[in-house]
Amino acid sequence: MEPMSAPTLVLVSGFARAGKDTLAEGILEWSRRPSRKTSFAAHLKDAANDYLWSLNLEGDFHNEAFKCKHRDLLVTLGKFARSLNPDVFAENLAHFVPIQMGPDEVAPETVVVSDWRYINELRVSQSILWNLGWKVRTVYVSTAGIGPANDEELDSICEIKQFHSFDQEFVFAPNSRQCILAEGRHLAKTWNL
């Protein structure tokens, strides 16, 4: 058996609904190392949930239906946090990545983030994780007929594409779930994750 590679953070970028989460699912399914999926928005969702809890309100921003219904609050909180520190979400994620979640869990060696939207998220993650011996791999996913959700998404993804060369880029046909999963599995094998 070939030796395991360094712990790896896989950043997946692309427009909303392009297949990023499905690709991440395929990578994690075939990862041979302790692995998990997280997001740059995880700490923001936790903070929004703390807000609800402190007011004794029901809801969970980690629940997709609830998040979609109340997305405006997350957007407002995210813009506010980035106005105080543009790197806040990237710093939180990069410091969180190598940590084991509980006493019986092994620290992850493969972490997949499927909501990479800003170039600074890559730069901050690299600067923190490279010093800890981690690799950072990047993937771009697009699906024919899927465009940006809004102007901000278009601008941020265009900036990433302008200043960064991805390790891997995919273009999928619509309704290609099985193909996207297969490519994720292939990446896990190819990159020895």
- What is the per-residue pLDDT across 90-134, written as a single tens digit (0 to 9) for each? 999 998 887 766 667 777 899 999 999 999 999 999 999 999 899
Q: Per-residue pLDDT for 160 more than 70?
A: yes
Residue 138 to residue 94: CA distance in whole angstroms: 15
Q: Which pTM does this prediction carry?
A: 0.89
Residue 185 to residue 193: CA distance in whole angstroms: 10
pLDDT category of residue 83 using cuts at 50, 70 and 90:
very high
Which of the four CATH numbers 3.40.50.300, 3.30.360.10, 2.60.40.420, 3.90.1150.10 does domain 8-190 have? Answer: 3.40.50.300
Residue 48: φ, ψ to 5°: -65, -40
User: Which residue spans within the chain are E strands per DSSP?
Assistant: 8-13, 35-38, 110-116, 135-143, 168-172
Pairing of strands 8-13, 135-143: parallel
Structure-token pair, residue 96:
């969180």
Locate the domains of the chain by residue range.
Answer: 8-190
